């Protein structure tokens, strides 16, 4: 028994994980740029399928749409877990959040070469822990605006995520939500390893600037 989940419910949890992965793996940035006639986003700028790279096409509306849809799919995966698992809700939602971000970062349709999971991760955290999610969004927006570097805001926001989840006077490391938040933060920070190196060198492109 894991987190109070009996063995006979594990297939349902596996189904939640699989569904969440499929939802997360929908490459909205790639789809929207292709439908708008801007070609393959993977051949533009950094080659990433996320909103920041979509912005490099010069289409702000397209980038905003990508951001919104990527965030929504994360929240939707958590909502599906809520509906499908009424008896193990927090564990199911936490599992869905992790696999939705994994789906975005490593989509099977794109040979496991996806985005960096920021918008999807924020959508998941907002659905799973609204207060913490709002704090992460605020950090991301503030640091992205101050530095004009989107990756800097994302790195700060998700590096702070495990600390933001700590309740006053108590650190519940065993909570499925805490475990999920830690895994999501780790996944997104690992996906930003190249950005971190460029930030240290001072060569990270600013918002709207073309990648070298």
Determine contact, residues 117/187, Cβ cutoff 8 Å. yes
Say whether pLDDT at 1 is over 50.
no
Determine contact, residues 64/56, Cβ cutoff 8 Å. no
Answer yes or no: is 2 within a domain.
Answer: no
Answer yes or no: is 38 within a domain.
Answer: yes
Query: How many other β-carbons are positioned within 10 Å of the β-carbon of residue 86?
Result: 8
Per-residue pLDDT tens digits for 125-160: 999 999 999 999 999 999 999 999 989 999 999 999
- Token pair in block for residue 211: 């990648």
Q: Which range among 27-31, 154-158, 194-198, 203-207 shows the weakest confidence by mean pLDDT? A: 203-207
Domain containing 108 equals: 7-201
Say whether pLDDT at 25 is over 50.
yes
Say whether pLDDT at 212 is over 70.
no
Answer yes or no: is 55 within a domain.
Answer: yes
Answer yes or no: is 175 within a domain.
Answer: yes
Determine contact, residues 211/195, Cβ cutoff 8 Å. no
Answer yes or no: is 212 within a domain.
Answer: no
Per-residue pLDDT tens digits for 59-87: 889 999 999 999 999 999 999 999 998 88
Answer yes or no: is 76 within a domain.
Answer: yes
Please give the share of the chain, as a percent, with pLDDT higher than 90. 65
Give the number of domains in the chain.
1
Answer yes or no: is 77 within a domain.
Answer: yes
Answer yes or no: is 174 within a domain.
Answer: yes
Determine contact, residues 156/140, Cβ cutoff 8 Å. yes
User: Can you tell me the distance from the alpha carbon of 79 to that of 184, in angstroms, rounded to the nearest whole number?
Assistant: 17
- In Å, what is the CA distance from 125 to each residue of 110, 111, 139, 157, 198? 25, 26, 14, 11, 27
């Amino acid at each position: 028994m894991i987190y109070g989940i009996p063995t006979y419910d594990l297939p349902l949890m596996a189904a939640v994980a699989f569904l969440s992965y499929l939802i997360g793996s929908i490459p909205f940035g790639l789809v929207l740029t292709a439908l708008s006639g801007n070609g393959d986003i993977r051949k533009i700028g950094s080659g990433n399928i996320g909103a920041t790279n979509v912005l490099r096409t010069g289409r702000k509306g397209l980038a905003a749409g990508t951001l919104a849809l990527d965030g929504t799919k994360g929240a939707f995966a958590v909502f599906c877990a809520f509906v499908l698992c009424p008896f193990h809700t927090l564990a199911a939602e936490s599992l869905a959040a992790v696999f939705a971000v994994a789906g975005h970062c490593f989509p099977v349709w794109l040979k496991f070469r996806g985005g960096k999971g920021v918008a999807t991760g924020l959508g998941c955290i907002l659905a799973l822990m609204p207060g913490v999610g709002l704090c992460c969004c605020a950090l991301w927006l503030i640091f992205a605006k101050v530095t004009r570097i989107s990756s800097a805001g994302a790195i700060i926001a998700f590096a702070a995520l495990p600390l933001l989840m700590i309740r006053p006077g108590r650190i519940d490391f065993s909570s499925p939500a805490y475990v999920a938040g830690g895994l999501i933060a780790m996944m997104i920070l690992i996906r930003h390893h190249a950005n971190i190196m460029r930030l240290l060198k001072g060569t990270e492109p600013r918002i709207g600037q073309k990648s070298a």
